[in-house]
Amino acid sequence: MKFKRFFRIIVISSYALFIALSWIFGFEPGKEISDNFASFSLDMLKILPCAFILIGLFETWVKKETIEKHLGEKSGIKGYIWGILLASTTVGGLYVAFPVAYSLFNKGAKLSVIFTYVSASAICRIPMALFEASFLGIKFTAIRLLVTIPLVILTSMVLGNYLKKQNYTISD
**pLDDT at position 2:** 83
**pLDDT at position 115:** 95
**pLDDT at position 93:** 78
3-state secondary structure of 143: helix
3-state secondary structure of 124: coil
pLDDT at 107 over 70: yes
Where is pLDDT greater, at 17 or 168? 17
User: Using 50, 70 and 90 to split pLDDT, how confident is the model at 4?
Assistant: confident
**pLDDT at position 1:** 66
Structural domain boundaries in the chain? 1-48, 62-172
Each residue's pLDDT tens digit, 113-167: 999 999 999 898 888 888 899 999 999 999 999 999 999 999 999 999 999 898 8
Each residue's pLDDT tens digit, 95-104: 788 889 999 9
User: Model-level pTM?
Assistant: 0.78
Write the secondary structure of 69-109 as one string of H (helix), E (strand) and C (coil). Answer: HHHCCCCCHHHHHHHHHHHHCCCCCHHHHHHHHHHHHHCCC
Each residue's pLDDT tens digit, 24-75: 999 999 999 999 999 989 988 888 888 889 889 988 998 999 999 999 888 8
User: Using 50, 70 and 90 to split pLDDT, how confident is the model at 94?
Assistant: confident
